A and B are shown apart, each in its own frame.
Chain A
């Protein structure tokens, strides 16, 4: 997702690859963000190898035991156990698969859809604008829970339907932000100039307008990952999301909610996982955006001499 939105590859050409690596190594905050993302992705991909316990193995006797409780066999339950005595760390590791996929997939779908429609509405104005923006109005006035229920009734709960619900409820924000920026951009001199030399509308939209939107859209999209993962939690809370025994961070958060005062680790660790992961994604995205921006780049790459 990040790569796709920020890779007008031409921008990289001016600077060598080594500079990026060196800049990254100097920047401890971004480096730790990258390390955490790599850590989470590796854990998600290799869940079967890295989890210390079977994430589905229940034990009533181990219900809601705190962190570092010794296990019947193998290493201790480092992050404690859940209400059915399952190892919390292993469930977090397995849950990351669903949470990351749901988060990234819904953001990708809603982001592409919303941006395209926003571009059309803002650039062509007139009837396209009217229709698209009135659909946005309808969507925003329509309760999202109702939408989730309808899809659930029509298609049943499950992973794909969760992505569908989240994508449909979240595309409007991209459409509106994109449109609002496009409205201004289409009146600028460089768009006039492009039009004057006979560029096609499609070329103007994708070559002249879209790159100028990328920076705010990227910021929005990376923040949406957090929103989407948390919205998934509220679907789970209503029983409309991921069905147990499968797990996601959102589901763990929703299930741990009733124990917030009596077993703090049940909401704290999934909450932290969501927080740290989305934070890392955002910091990385900020960095990528900055080092690919010709105006800001010097500051982040540390090329002080060349600064104005």
Chain B
């Protein structure tokens, strides 16, 4: 059953990824051309046309598409139009930084959020609940660049504890990861609180408590397990956003992840880089969503694969 399910999902994934990349190819060619951007505005029409010819933008779209597809068949996306080196390695080069930041952020955010959510759900309306709610909603409603810059000004300039920005060891990742963690902590903790409240009112919790099972076990084993599905779904959603590249935070902290690269490539209409990067992101998102779907049946055996 599971094997057949996996086979079908993998088969679908090929279409999803091909679909995303194809749409991106078409869309990129619809929204303006890079030749104009490469030249100074004072450049003459002849120079512009010559550059277009050189970049192969003169060919009809189906010719360009054919070239793109035959490259894709060989796993090549062509050279970046601006950086003039192969596009796919440019993306892969930056992947470790994105994965590193995503991992640290998730490691900070997920446990914090779940613990806060459970604590808040234990005594709704109590002071702890109110404080946690206000703080987590504050995290959701704060502009990330404001938060990032404020953290830099406080911890790097005023206190001089941490470097302002840059890439490297633990001291470099702490501020960007902290800034990024605010939103997921807020969202996941609120959702945890709400689903836990629903679960805690159910009969099996009363039964478990009546049977004398320790409260900690009731909360974190029985109840949380039943509340886990929406929590994991939302967490995966946040993680997908991080894997897409945390553009603002990468910009503020000069973190060399894939987000800045993508934004610049879109701005520059650097077709090969955008296509290569979207391909890589689509792969990661598809894999993530598949893992999440598989986890449902582990958490709730009633969910079956067909």
Would you call B190 and A146 a contact (CB within 8 A)?
A: no
B248 (CB) vs chain A CBs: closest residue? A234
Assuming the contacts A134-B16, A219-B194, asked whether A286 and B142 have C-beta atoms less than 8 A apart, the reply is: no
Chain A binding surface SS class: helix
CB-based contact B234/A220 at 8 Å: yes
Say whether A226 faces chain B, with CB atoms less than 8 Å apart.
yes
B237 touches A172 (CB 8 A): yes
Question: Is there a chain A Cβ closer than 8 Å to B51's Cβ?
Answer: no
Given contacts A177-B230, A267-B146, contact A184 B302 (CB under 8 A): yes
Cβ of B160 within 8 Å of any chain A Cβ, yes or no, is no
For the complex formed, measure the closest distance between the CB of A272 and the CB atoms of chain B, giving whole angstroms: 10
Q: How far is it, in angstroms, between the C-alpha of A295 and the C-alpha of B303 when the chains are bound?
A: 27
A contact residues around B230 at 8 Å (CB):
177, 180-181, 216
Chain B CB within 10 A, most for which of A176, A216, A234: A216
A131 CB to closest chain B CB (Å) equals 9
Which residue of A has the minimal Cβ distance to B299?
Answer: A184
**Is A177 in contact with B234, judged by CB distance below 8 angstroms?**
yes
Q: Is the CB–CB distance between A184 and B300 below 8 Å? A: yes
Shortest Cβ distance from residue A193 to the other chain B in the assembled complex, whole angstroms: 15
Q: Which of A138, A220, A296 is the one whose CB lies under 8 Å from B124?
A: A296
- The answer on a CB contact under 8 Å between A180 and B229 is yes
> In the assembly, what is the distance between CA of A188 and CA of B198, in Å?
15
Q: From residue B229, how far is it (CB to closest CB) to chain A in Å? A: 5
- Whether a CB of chain B sits under 8 angstroms from the CB of A275 is yes
A176 touches B233 (CB 8 A): yes
Quick check: B134 and A141 within 8 Å, CB to CB? no
Q: What are 7 A-B residue pairs whose CB atoms fall within 8 Å in the complex?
A: A143-B262, A149-B31, A215-B197, A229-B141, A234-B248, A260-B146, A271-B142
B interface residues (Cβ-Cβ under 8 A, vs A): 8, 12-13, 15-17, 19-20, 23-24, 27-28, 30-32, 124-125, 130, 133-134, 137-138, 140-146, 149, 153, 183, 186-187, 190-191, 193-195, 197-198, 201, 229-230, 232-234, 236-237, 240, 244, 247-248, 262-263, 266, 274, 278, 281-282, 285-286, 289, 293, 296, 300, 302-303, 306
Given A176-B236, A290-B125, 16 additional A-B pairs, CB 8 A = A125-B306, A176-B233, A180-B233, A184-B229, A184-B296, A184-B302, A215-B194, A220-B187, A223-B190, A227-B183, A234-B247, A253-B143, A257-B145, A279-B137, A286-B133, A300-B124
